[in-house]
Amino acid sequence: MREHTEKLNPPRALWVPFELGRPVGAPGEPAFQRRVIEAALGLLAAPSGPVLESFPEDAPGGVSDDHSGWVCPVNLAPPPAAAEAAGASAVLVEVDQLRPWYQLGREQRGRTTVGVSGLGIEAAVELLAAYLDDPSIASPRDGLSLAQALKFAAEDVKAWYLEAATARPGPARSAALTDWFWRETAAGALLLRVASACCRSDVAGLKALGEKSLVPRSHASLLA
């Protein structure tokens, strides 16, 4: 993250506008990846530091309206037209619709990445919605701050949805899945509301969560 790099102030750094976890761009694009690596190594030629430069290209297959090659296995209802209407009930309806696909995906993979919150999917959704109703609620787990509990619940909800959505065989670009979650699901709308509420918080940890952790940079423009 650029903000972290600015504070760490290393001698040479190349900031890249890619998805978290893909520092050289998209898989299967060796020419593009080589340009990223060459740009990073090129910073060594700078006569002095610290140097922080931005890579000027987006990764191939970035976020767009092109969802060809993948569709959600369930025809979900459109998310609430107004972000304020996105609550737990709408998300739980989606969860019920997607549940068979989540279970199928878990059986096929033999594993799941859901569980960091220590809550079931319904409880994770309800915690996020409860924060909107009462920002002073206590963390449901000893040893975790409310900000940490909300972050873990959000991560579980996102992972649960994406594992369900990719249970059906077929090509699924990461960017298309991310776009689908944030633009076309009630869960995405709920997390946008939570992020906006955190941004308005006077608690430093919650404010940082809303500004930097809940919503990917690629979809930050959706925040109210």
The secondary structure of 83-124 as a DSSP string is GGG--HHHHHHHHHHHHHHHHHHHHHHT--S--TTSS-HHHH
In a domain, 16, yes or no: yes
Please indicate, yes or no, whether residues 36 and 136 belong to a single structural domain of this protein: no
Name the domain boundary from 13, 38, 54: 54
In a domain, 209, yes or no: yes
Q: Is 25 inside a domain boundary?
A: yes
98 occurs within a structural domain: yes
| pLDDT per position as a tens digit, 126-157 | 999 999 999 999 999 899 999 999 999 999 99
Q: How confident is residue 69, by pLDDT bands cut at 50, 70 and 90? A: low
Q: Would you place residue 68 in the very low, low, confident or very high pLDDT band (cuts 50, 70, 90)?
A: very low
Whose CA is closest to 186, among 95, 79, 72? Answer: 79
User: 105 and 33, same structural domain?
Assistant: no
Q: How many domains does the chain have?
A: 2
Q: Are 149 and 140 in contact (CB under 8 A)?
A: yes
Which position has the token pair 């060459």?
Answer: 38
Instruction: HSE, CB side, 13 Å, CA atoms: give it for residue 132.
Output: 18
Residue 73 placed within a domain: no
Residues 100 and 189 both lie in one domain: yes
Structural domain span for residue 172: 83-222
Which pLDDT value is given to residue 96?
Answer: 95
| One domain, residues 123 and 210 | yes
Q: Does residue 43 sit in the same domain as residue 125? A: no
Decide if 78 is inside a domain: no
Whether 64 is in a domain gets the answer no
Peptide bond into 50 cis (omega under 30): yes
Regarding whether 105 and 216 lie in a shared domain, the answer is yes
Q: Quick one: 16 and 117 in the same domain?
A: no
